[in-house]
Structure 1
């Protein structure tokens, strides 16, 4: 690719892809925060007992 091809190329599709990925990252961060406050928070407050308690609590934590 020569210099003129780069200078006059349309990078709109690339810009759109970057914007989509940025939105996805932001949405994932919000989902992580909601999961930490919701299910994980409840699991950490629960009184875990029995053989499966360690496994279940660890699974929810992940």
Structure 2
């Protein structure tokens, strides 16, 4: 039987915990979430135009 090496926490590089996977703690999980909210991460590609973000039927027409 082989043991797979688990990846470390992506924020602090400590060992992951099952409770907060893929992070090691709630602190690192919250830091990652704050980075998403603060535009610290970005999905590659062109920026969306505002008119493309309105679903059909939601623009009041």
Taking structure 2 as the reference length, the TM-score comes to: 0.30
TM-score by length of 1: 0.30
* Higher gyration radius (CA): 1
